[in-house]
């Protein structure tokens, strides 16, 4: 699998979730600041650590799923920063 294939899959997931949930990520960041972006990023890192320690995947989320979610949240945070003139 190539980098481009993974990113295209991430984009499809992002589009689907934004359609389902709206732009709740930006709304939270507007309301609570960048800490709102740090929380899901941290949650994903903690989930990945747990999956690695336990050496297994759970029914609802594998290490791969968590890594993809982490990457999407990181990109969403970057987009939020760029769209709001923040450079932190």
Mean pLDDT value of segment 51-60 = 78
Spatial separation of the C-alpha atoms in residues 15 and 69, rounded to whole Å: 13
- Helices 24-32 and 35-54: angle between axes, nearest 10 degrees: 120
More confident residue, 85 or 2: 2
**pLDDT for position 57:** 66
Confidence bin at 58 (pLDDT 50/70/90): low
Spatial separation of the C-alpha atoms in residues 7 and 84, rounded to whole Å: 24
Spatial separation of the C-alpha atoms in residues 45 and 42, rounded to whole Å: 5
Give backbone dihedrals phi and psi of 67, rounded to 5 degrees, phi first: -65, -40
């Amino acid at each position: 699998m190539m980098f481009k294939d993974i990113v295209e899959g991430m984009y499809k997931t992002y589009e689907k979730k934004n359609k389902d949930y709206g732009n709740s990520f930006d709304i939270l960041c507007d309301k609570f600041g960048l800490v709102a972006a740090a929380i899901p990023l941290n949650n994903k890192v903690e989930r990945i650590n747990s999956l690695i320690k336990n050496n297994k995947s759970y029914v609802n989320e594998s290490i791969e799923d968590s890594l993809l979610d982490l990457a999407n949240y990181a990109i969403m945070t970057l987009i939020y920063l760029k769209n709001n003139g923040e450079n932190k």
